Amino acid sequence: MRLAVNIDHFATLRQARKATEPEPVLVALLAEQAGAHGIVCHIRADRRHIKERDLRLLRDAVKTKLNVEMAATNEMKRIALEIRPDVVSLVPERPEELTTEGGLKVAANRKGLGPHVKALGKAGIRTSIFIDTNLEEIKAAREIGVDLIEINTGQYADLREGPAREKALEAVRRAAEFGHKIGLEVHGGHGLDYRNVGPIVAIPEIAELSIGFSIVARAAVVGIERAVLDMLALLGT
Ligand code: PXP
C-alpha cells in the first residue's frame, strides 16, 4: 500500500511564529527520500498553513506525486490550473474547523462539481473526492467523472477498539470494495496513526493512504525520515 504524506502541519509550525521555517518543501523532499510515494498538502481559503508560494516550490521539487487538497471554489480552481498538481483532492471546508470534518456531499452538488472535475481533467489534473462511506455518494462521484476517491477513515480512527469501531471499519471496507468494483482508484485517509492503521492496511482495495498529523507529530520527536520509515513498515512497503 502506498503512503502519501500530508505536510500541512510543518507549515502550521512555521505560521505559529509567522516565521520562515520549517520549509514544507524541505520536509517533502526528506519524506520522499525516506520512501514516501506522494506528498499531500491542503491550501485553505484562510491560508492558515500552506500558501501559494509553498505550492509553487512543491510543484517544482516533488518528484513522486503532488496532491493538493482544496475546496471546490473558483478561487481554488484558478490556483489548481496555475500550479497543476498531479492530483487535486476536493474537500469540504468550514472556516472554523480544526481539520476536515467529513466527506464532500457529491450527490447533492453534482451540478457544481461535475464541470469543476471536467475543467481539472481537461488540464491533465486527476481529481479525487474525499468521501464518506455512503455507497450512493461513491456512485455519484463515479458519475461526475472523478478518477479516484479518498474514503474518510476519520470515524473509524476516532473510535476506541470495540464493536462501534468494527462497524466503522466494515463501512470503510464495503465502501472500498464498492468503489473498486465500479472502476475507481480507492484511497483512504484521516485520523490514521501508528496504532490504528493496521486494519485499514488489510483492505486490499485501498491503494494509498494519506496520513498527516501522526507522522508530523512523530517527526517532531524522531525526525521526518524515521517517522516515514516507521509508517512505511506498517504499510508493508
Ligand atoms: N485526507 C484529507 C482529505 C484531509 O483533509 C486530511 C487532513 O488534512 C488527511 C487526509 C490527513 O489526516 P490526518 O492529518 O489526520 O492524518
d(CA 119, CA 92): 19
Cell of 147: 478518477
What mean pLDDT do residues 168-176 have?
98
Question: What is the extent of the structural domain holding 9?
Answer: 2-234
What is the distance, to the nearest Å, from the Cα of residue 76 to the centroid of all Cα atoms in its chain? 16
Domain count for the chain: 1
Query: Quick one: pLDDT band at residue 121, thresholds 50, 70, 90?
Result: very high
74 pLDDT exceeds 90?
A: yes
Radius of gyration of the chain (CA): 17
pLDDT for 140 equals 98
Q: What is the overall mean pLDDT for the chain?
A: 97
- Domain CATH for 33: 3.20.20.70
The single residue listed with the C-alpha cell 478561487 is: 75
Please check the confidence at residue 133 and state whether its pLDDT lies above 90: yes
Q: What is the pLDDT of residue 94?
A: 87
Q: Is the pLDDT of residue 232 over 90?
A: yes
Indicate the top mutation candidate among 190, 209, 218 to test ligand 1's pocket, ranked by most ligand atoms within 8 A of CB: 190
pLDDT of 95 strictly over 90: no
pLDDT at residue 96 in the model: 86
Taking the C-alpha atoms of residue 60 and residue 53, their distance in angstroms, rounded to an integer, is 11
Q: Is the peptide bond before 24 cis (omega within 30 degrees of 0)?
A: no
User: Which ligand 1 atom is the nearest neighbour of the CA of 157?
Assistant: 15
Closest atom, ligand 1, to C-alpha of 213: 14
Percent of the chain at pLDDT exceeding 90: 96
The answer, yes or no, to whether residue 97 has pLDDT greater than 90, is no
